[in-house]
Amino acid sequence: VQLQASGGGLVQPGGSLRLSCAAAGFRFNNYNMGWFRQAPGKDREFVAVSRSSGGTSYDGSVKGRCTISRSNAENMVYLQMASLKPEDTAVYYCAAAPPGTILSSLWTQNSYTYWGQGTLVTVSS
């Protein structure tokens, strides 16, 4: 199993960035795919999830600024981020929660079986 996140970098406040995550080794289309982030000195937190059955959910801190999407044909999940703020600075991780995961638990990292290595996003002028 492999989850490879990419697309991080340095961006100015107000800018945009698109993160990508390539998945391999499991039935991608059956899994709920999430993005989490961990800022320096803070716990890892939920950002967004794309449910295997369709539909998406976002943390309130990014809702309206981020869009999660997936391509089941390509085993990819994306996080398009806009209007970035310095407080969005963090290492961003993609993760996969298996079929049957209770939907209301998809905001908790313990629900996720597989994790990528993370990609650093720095929002600074």
What does the pLDDT read at residue 54?
A: 87
- Under 8 Å between Cβ of 90 and 37: yes
SS3 content of the chain, % helix, strand, coil (to 5): 10, 50, 40
- Mean pLDDT per 10-residue segment, the chain (125 residues): 97 98 97 97 97 94 97 98 97 96 94 97 97
Place of tokens 């600074």: 124
At 35, the amino acid letter reads W
